[in-house]
C-alpha cells in the first residue's frame, strides 16, 4: 500500500541524501531527488524511509511547543476548531515547561534534581503552572503573561465539556497564546540566551539517545509560526499565516503525488 495526498496529510518533506547526496548546505537540493514525507511525530526523532527503501534518521530541531502550535493552526485550516484549541493549550503548557527548564538551568540547578522535581508535578498541569509563575516572578520580578480566567473557562469547556468552538473564538484564543509565547520567548532569549540554547540542545540530545536509532543523518528545523513571530512585530496575527499553511499543504500534496510513500 502506498500513501499519497488522498490518504494522508503530511507536514514535512525531506530529501533522501542516499539517493542524491547533497553537495553542500548552500547548493540546494538536486532536481529529481526522491523526497520522504511525514506528518509531525512526538519528539524530534523521525526514522524515515525513501521510495527506494533507504532509511534515515532525521532530527527536527523545533521545540515541542512550536510543533503543537503549528498543528493547532493546521487544524484551523482544516476546519477542526476543537482540535486547534486543544493543541494551542498543549503548546502553551509545553512552552511553560520549557521556560521552567531554562530558568532552572540559568540558576545552575543540577539536572537530576530538576528531573526529580518534574516527576512530582508532571501529572498535574495546575502544579506546573504554579511552579512556572513563581520561578518567572523570582527571576524577572514580574508575573509572566498568562491567560485570563475567561480564557481558562473557554478552554475548559472545549477540553472537558466537548464544546465545539467557532472559528472566530478559536482564532481569538490562538492569538492570545501566540502573543503570550511571543513576548515571553523574547524575554527568555534576551535575558537567558545561554540557558535557552543549553536546554534546547540537551532536550534533543536526550531524545536522540532515548530513541536508540543511532546518529542522525539529517538535521532540520521547520519554519513554524512561533519561530517566525519571535522576530515579527507585536501586531502580527495568526490568521495572517493561514494562507501560507494552505500553500504548504498544496505543495506537500503535489510532492506526495510524485513520490508515493510507503508507511514507516
Ligand atoms: Zn533513497
Each residue's pLDDT tens digit in the chain (264 positions)? 676 666 788 999 998 888 876 555 545 666 778 889 999 999 999 999 888 888 889 999 999 999 999 999 999 999 999 999 999 999 999 999 999 999 999 999 998 998 899 999 988 989 999 999 999 999 999 999 999 999 999 999 999 999 999 999 999 999 999 999 999 999 999 999 999 999 999 999 999 999 888 888 889 999 999 999 998 898 999 999 999 999 999 999 988 888 887 765
> Ligand 1 centre from 135 Cα, in Å?
47
Distance CA 157, CA 151 (A): 10
> Ligand 1 centre from 120 Cα, in Å?
44
| Phi, psi for 46 (deg, rounded to 5) | -120, 110
> Ligand 1 centre from 210 Cα, in Å?
25
pLDDT at 21: 62
> Ligand 1 centre from 234 Cα, in Å?
43
**How far is residue 186 from each of residues 65, 133, 196, 229, measured CA to CA in Å?**
15, 17, 11, 10
Distance CA 197, CA 182 (A): 17
pLDDT at 4: 67
Can you tell me which residue has the cell 509545553?
A: 94
pLDDT at 214: 84
> Ligand 1 centre from 49 Cα, in Å?
7
> Ligand 1 centre from 54 Cα, in Å?
5
Whole-prediction pTM value?
0.93
Contact 245, 238 (CB under 8 A): no
Look at strands 218-220 and 45-49 and give their pairing: unpaired
Element (H, E) at 169: helix 167-191
> Ligand 1 centre from 250 Cα, in Å?
23
Cell of 55: 532509511
pLDDT at 18: 85
> Ligand 1 centre from 22 Cα, in Å?
12
The alpha-helical segments, DSSP class H, found in 79-214 are: 81-106, 111-121, 125-140, 149-161, 167-191, 193-211
Task: Supply the DSSP symbol for 125.
Answer: H
Distance CA 3, CA 34 (A): 15
> Ligand 1 centre from 16 Cα, in Å?
5
> Ligand 1 centre from 256 Cα, in Å?
15
Distance CA 228, CA 58 (A): 22
Label residues 197-233 b or e (16+ Cβ within 10 Å = b).
eebbeebbeebbeebeeeebebeeebebbbbebeeee
Radius of gyration of the chain, Cα coordinates, nearest whole angstrom: 20
pLDDT at 5: 63
> Ligand 1 centre from 19 Cα, in Å?
4
> Ligand 1 centre from 31 Cα, in Å?
14
> Ligand 1 centre from 244 Cα, in Å?
29
> Ligand 1 centre from 15 Cα, in Å?
8
Task: Supply the DSSP symbol for 117.
Answer: H
Amino acid at each position: 500500500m502506498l500513501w499519497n495526498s488522498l490518504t494522508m496529510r503530511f507536514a514535512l518533506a525531506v530529501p533522501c541524501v542516499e539517493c542524491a547526496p547533497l553537495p553542500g548546505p548552500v547548493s540546494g537540493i538536486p532536481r529529481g531527488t526522491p523526497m520522504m514525507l511525514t506528518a509531525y511525530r512526538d519528539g524530534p526523532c523521525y526514522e524515515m524511509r525513501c521510495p527506494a527503501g533507504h532509511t534515515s534518521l532525521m532530527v527536527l530541531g523545533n521545540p515541542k511547543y512550536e510543533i503543537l502550535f503549528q498543528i493547532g493552526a493546521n487544524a484551523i485550516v482544516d476546519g477542526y476548531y476543537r482540535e486547534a484549541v486543544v493543541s494551542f493549550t498543549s503548546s502553551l503548557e509545553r512552552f511553560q515547561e520549557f521556560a521552567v527548564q531554562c530558568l532552572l538551568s540559568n540558576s545552575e540547578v543540577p539536572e537530576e534534581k530538576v528531573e526529580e522535581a518534574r516527576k512530582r508535578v508532571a501529572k498535574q498541569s495546575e502544579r506546573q503552572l504554579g511552579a512556572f509563575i513563581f520561578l518567572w516572578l523570582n527571576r524577572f520580578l514580574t508575573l509572566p503573561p498568562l491567560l485570563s480566567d475567561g480564557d481558562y473557562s473557554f478552554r475548559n469547556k472545549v477540553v472537558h465539556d466537548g464544546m465545539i468552538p467557532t472559528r472566530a473564538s478559536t482564532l481569538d484564543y490562538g492569538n492570545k497564546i501566540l502573543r503570550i509565547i511571543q513576548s515571553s520567548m523574547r524575554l527568555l532569549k534576551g535575558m537567558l540566551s545561554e540557558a535557552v540554547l543549553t536546554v534546547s540542545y540537551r532536550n534533543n540530545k536526550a531524545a536522540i539517545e532515548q530513541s536508540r536509532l543511532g546518529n542522525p543523518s539529517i538535521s532540520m528545523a521547520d519554519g513554524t509560526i512561533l519561530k517566525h513571530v519571535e522576530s515579527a512585530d507585536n501586531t502580527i496575527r495568526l490568521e495572517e499565516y493561514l494562507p501560507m499553511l494552505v500553500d504548504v499543504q498544496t505543495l506537500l500534496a503535489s510532492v506526495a503525488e510524485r513520490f508515493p510513500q510507503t508507511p514507516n
